[in-house]
Amino acid sequence: MESLTISEWLLTELKQGRFPPRMPSHRRVYEAIRRAIATQHLTPGARLPSTRSLAEELSLSRNTLLAAFEQLHEEGYVVSRIGSGTRVAATLPESFVPMRASGATTDAEPPMNTSGRNTSGLSKRGAIVAGPSDQPSYEVQPFTPGEDDFSAFPTQIWRRLLNRQWRDPQPAFLDYGHAGGHLPLRHAIANYLRMSRTVNLTVEQVLITSGTQQSIDLCARMLTDYGDRVWVENPCYWGARRVLEVNGLSLHPVPVDDEGMAPGNTDFRNPPRLIYTTPSHQYPKGVAMSYGRRRLLLDYAASRGAWILEDDYDSEFRFEGRPLSSLQGMDQSGCVLYMGTFSKVMYPGIKLGYIVVPPELAERFKRGLYELQRPGQVVIQAALADFIEEGHFSTHIRRLRQIYKERRYLLQKALAPVTNVGARLPPAGSGLHLVVELPAACDDVRVAELAAEQGLRVYPLSHYSVGEKREKGLIIGYAYASTDRITTYGRILADVIQAALSN
């Protein structure tokens, strides 16, 4: 295929609308070129146009093309050599599957019968899980919220600890996890939470789960019946919302103000079975719940027999002010179930978290966890116990805290100009993300799409709303963006926001 023909073919592919509406432009180009290779429109050895000429032909920024080509190169679809440009690789990746040039279907197309009916056969619950998501599952990009810099994780130490466990593994390490998880890890977590989060607990109250969403799911299954009411923060963490909805619970949104979850008279007249909250660092707005609001929530839950699910997902990363104690540490009536995760402080794929339940629920929750989930990963749990007990965990957190503090400062500085066009940058003293609040009339979804065209992935705040009230803004993660590039990325994003609000 000649250079001009390639450009025309790609232009046609990009305009056919086969891509999800919020897919970044560089990802569209990547998918289109990969499809051209898969359908053999581009054969091994075929030369691609330069990113500069292709950007002009497709009316896209050169950075968009560079990002697409870089991903193709990393995955082995193309090779680049000085003097010969970029060509389709002679040996394609092992995962490469050729397709027919016509009649091929994409992964996004559901199976259809001859009448055109969707034959996936999903239940209503399945449709909620597999339906359109507000969180596109593309590769991690600068400013992706909720991602930590797992490239900073001490892999050599971790490998040594894992190897130690595998040299002579105990038979129990190869079985399902019993009794709520590996006991030394539960001891390590209990000691850590007493010291760092003022959680009141014994080791018997600690259960090891595969992460916060499994902890929430376990609570929903053990403490609620179909149709029970759940108070959730509005806006709310999408992962918690999804799990609660799938369990058939009725979500009652409670607004969030500068003091955290803010129930009013209308809310009090609709008592819940569960209250889901992120008091130390509300997700996504980032505010901390005040002492008075915490006391109000605890007293109300105790008087109504409700359970509070405290999601303490990133409390390790507080940069200013004194450390905030947990809501559970203030609880005198035993109504708080406290949840945490290792995904934010270690790496996402570790898939380990924990839940601290009231003493009277401990044995029944352990049985429920075993019956419903058959937990495992005991070898990893044993290595993690050593990682904590030998001091590597606290050292790693201190290092990350310094890295993220610097990135937060650089990002705040780069984004400061957006306040001149009507945006607001609320204070952010902790966590892994910032929020830029936008005027109510602004289309934050469109602003996020414009950022995606520049290779920056941010989330619109409106997608986290429950019900009709939708605040406008952008959720911007700074943990994954490298320190040496965050100022550059921040200025690009600031330009996008300023242009959007100036039009």
Strands 85-88 vs 250-257: parallel, antiparallel or unpaired: unpaired
Residue 138, pLDDT score? 43
Q: Residue 488 is encoded by which pair of tokens?
A: 């550059």
Residue 70, pLDDT score? 81
What is the 8-class DSSP label of residue 89? -
Q: Are 270 and 229 in contact (CB under 8 A)?
A: yes
| 503 residues of the chain, pLDDT tens digit each | 544 477 777 777 777 666 766 677 888 888 888 888 887 778 888 888 888 888 888 888 888 888 888 888 877 888 887 666 888 887 766 555 555 444 333 333 344 444 444 445 777 777 767 765 545 444 456 677 766 667 788 999 999 999 999 998 888 888 888 889 999 999 999 999 999 999 999 999 999 999 999 999 999 999 999 999 999 999 999 899 999 999 999 999 999 999 999 999 999 999 999 999 999 999 999 999 999 999 999 999 999 999 999 999 888 888 776 778 899 999 999 999 999 999 989 988 899 999 999 999 999 999 999 999 888 889 999 999 999 999 999 999 999 999 999 999 999 999 999 999 999 998 877 888 999 999 999 999 999 999 988 888 899 999 999 887 789 999 999 887 888 889 999 999 999 999 999 87
> Could you give all domains of the chain from N- to C-terminal order, each with its CATH number?
3-110 (1.10.10.10), 152-393 (3.40.640.10), 396-502 (3.90.1150.10)
Q: Residue 39 is encoded by which pair of tokens?
A: 């359908």
pTM: 0.74
Q: Are 465 and 235 in contact (CB under 8 A)?
A: yes
- Helices 3-15, 51-58: axis angle to 10 degrees equals 50
Dihedral sign, Cα of residue 231, residue 235, residue 239, residue 242: positive
262-292 b/e with 16+ CB inside 10 Å = b? bbeeebeeebbbbbbbbbbbbbbbbbbbeee
Q: Residue 26 is encoded by which pair of tokens?
A: 């560089």
Helix (H, G, I), strand (E, B) or coil at 457: coil
Residue 137, pLDDT score? 44
Closest CA to 300 of 277, 268, 331: 268
Distances (CA, A) of 495 to 86, 344, 488, 502: 31, 29, 11, 10
CA distance 283 to 432: 10
Q: 88 CB contacts (<8 Å, ≥6 apart)? A: 37, 42, 43, 44, 45, 46, 48, 77, 78
Q: Are 48 and 54 in contact (CB under 8 A)?
A: yes
* DSSP, residue by residue, 391-412: THHHHHHHHHHHHHHHHHHHHH
Q: Which residue in the block uniquely carries the two structure tokens 């969030």?
A: 256
Q: Which residue in the block uniquely carries the two structure tokens 């002492």?
A: 291
Strands 274-277 vs 307-311: parallel, antiparallel or unpaired: parallel
Please give the distance of CA 46 from its chain centroid, rounded to a whole number: 38
Q: Which residue in the block uniquely carries the two structure tokens 């991602």?
A: 147
The residue type of 283 is Y
* DSSP, residue by residue, 312-355: -TTTT-B-SSSPPPPSGGG-SSS-EEEEEESTTTT-GGG--EEE
Closest CA to 380 of 152, 169, 215: 169
Residue 383, pLDDT score? 96
Residue 113, pLDDT score? 46
Strand partners, 430: 318
Q: Residue 131 is encoded by which pair of tokens?
A: 């339906």
